[in-house]
């Protein structure tokens, strides 16, 4: 009987040692998890310094033409855009696949000494993803009256923006403070 009691006591001691060991392992793991900085990666995002959105300048109206070029007034407005943003540093330019949007930002690309990156107008989520990937830089997107309001909304701006078919020259600037977007609208050209 003495042997059985001894085995029982040794078993209880081993179980208590095992539970203590297991408890220490759990505490160690919890302690490691608690050492993650308060600004964990999923809580932090570095935004561009500004995102500008600009509807293409005045286009030619040619019956049946799906991809018209700019008018003389449109080319003048595209030059005015380049002058308005000439002092911006680290600029990245995106345009839809259409001639009119590319022609609108070509003078700016020359001033900034950069290329125009083409991204289809039919992929607004992709446009947002690309723009937001440029931490601390300035981004401009040359788009359309029917695409820019949606892009502005996808950037998180709550203001409702509409652009009439004959409305040209509005430059929308989005900036973030504490992760919250705000929009400023200025006018470029005559």
Q: What is the CATH number of the domain that holds 70?
A: 3.40.50.1240
Write the CA distances from 182 to 49, 50, 80, 135, 186, integer angstroms. 12, 10, 24, 17, 14
Q: Structure pTM?
A: 0.77
DSSP state of 115: P
Burial 92-119 (b: 16+ CB within 10 A, else e): bbbbbebbbbbbbbbbbbebbeeebeeb
Q: Which domain holds residue 76?
A: 45-187
Is a pLDDT exceeding 50 seen at residue 36? no
Q: Are residues 10 and 76 in the same domain?
A: no
**How do residues 43-83 score in pLDDT, each as one tens digit?**
447 999 999 999 999 999 999 999 999 999 999 999 999 99
Q: How far apart are the first and last CA of the chain?
A: 106
Q: Are 92 and 117 in contact (CB under 8 A)?
A: yes
Pairing label, strands 180-187, 116-118: unpaired
Q: Are residues 69 and 155 in the same domain?
A: yes
Q: Are residues 14 and 59 in the same domain?
A: no
**How do residues 136-190 score in pLDDT, each as one tens digit?**
999 999 999 999 999 999 999 999 999 999 999 999 999 999 989 999 999 999 8
Q: How many domains in the chain?
A: 2
């Amino acid at each position: 009987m003495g042997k059985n009691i001894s085995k029982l006591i040794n078993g209880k001691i081993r179980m208590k040692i095992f539970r203590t060991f297991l408890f220490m392992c759990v505490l160690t793991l919890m302690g490691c998890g608690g050492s993650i900085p308060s600004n964990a990666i999923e809580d932090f995002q570095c935004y561009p310094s500004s995102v500008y959105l600009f509807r293409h300048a005045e286009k030619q109206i040619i019956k049946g033409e799906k991809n018209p070029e700019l008018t003389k007034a449109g080319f003048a407005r595209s030059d005015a855009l380049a002058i308005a943003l000439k002092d911006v540093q680290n600029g990245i330019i995106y345009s839809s696949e259409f001639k009119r949007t590319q022609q609108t930002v070509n003078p700016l690309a020359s001033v900034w000494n950069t290329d125009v990156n083409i991204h289809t107008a039919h992929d607004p989520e992709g446009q947002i993803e690309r723009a937001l990937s440029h931490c601390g830089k300035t981004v401009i997107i040359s788009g359309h009256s029917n695409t820019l309001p949606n892009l502005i909304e996808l950037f998180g701006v709550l203001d409702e923006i509409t652009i009439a078919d004959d409305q040209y020259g509005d430059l929308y600037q989005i900036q973030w403070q504490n992760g919250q977007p705000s929009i400023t609208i200025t006018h470029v050209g005559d």
